[in-house]
Structure formats: structure tokens, C-alpha cells
Amino acid sequence: PITPGELLCLGSSLAFSGIFYYIYRKKARVVSRIQEAPKLQVDDDLPALVSAAEGRCLPYVALEGIVLPAQAALTSHYHEGLQGVIQKLLLKEHRLIWNSLARCW
């Protein structure tokens, strides 16, 4: 016979597993979209490409190149007096090691 305490533990375990699996799948979809993002060079063709895109927005792209302000630096809409330009981003991938306890890389 199964006790009510065991049923409670089993139910909560299944509920937590379902919640964590849902979060995992949601994040995995975002990661796959980012990995499939097209790589674009910052050049004279970029403004025309953005203008031709739906909604004048490119959802996920990887920009490569040196960025300088065309006329003035970018200004923040949320913090008055805060200015900046797009900065070069360096992505460093670390060596993957198999973790046998967590069963992941």
C-alpha cells in the first residue's frame, strides 16, 4: 500500500520535473535561434538590409566589425546624460568537459 506522504512526494516530484522541463525546452529554443543567427558585417549595406527587413528590425543577428558613431554617440532614452556606442563583443568559448554526475557537458 502507498501512503499519502509517498503520493505527495511523487506528485510534487512530477510537478517540479514538468516545470523544469518546460523551462529547459523554452531556453533551448532561444539558444537554437541564437546559434542559427546570420552573421553580418558592419558596412555600408547594413542600413539598407535593416530598412528592408520586416518592421525595420532584425531579431537575431551576429554583427562583426568595428563600430564608430556616425555623427554623435547613442543616447539613452531611459537615463538622461548616458551616451555610448556599440562596443566590440568578444565571445570566448570554454573547453567542454563531460560531467558524469550531472550528465551534461
The string of DSSP letters for 61-105 reads -EEES----SSS-EE-SSSTT-EE-PPP----PPPP--BTTTTB-
By residue range, what is the domain housing residue 76? 37-87
> Are residues 77 and 44 located together in one domain of the fold?
yes
pLDDT digits (tens, 9 = 90+) for 18-70: 999 999 999 999 889 888 888 888 888 888 888 888 888 777 788 787 666 76
Same domain, 29 and 41: no
Whether this prediction's pTM lies above 0.85 is answered by no
Same domain, 45 and 63: yes
Total of domains in the chain: 2
How many residues are listed for the chain in this entry?
Answer: 105
Tens of pLDDT along 68-105? 676 677 788 888 887 777 655 566 666 677 777 777 76
User: What pLDDT score was predicted for residue 24?
Assistant: 97
In a domain, 95, yes or no: no
Residues 12 and 46 grouped into a single domain:
no
58 in the same domain as 20:
no
pLDDT of 78 reads: 85
Q: What is the predicted pLDDT for the residue at 17?
A: 97
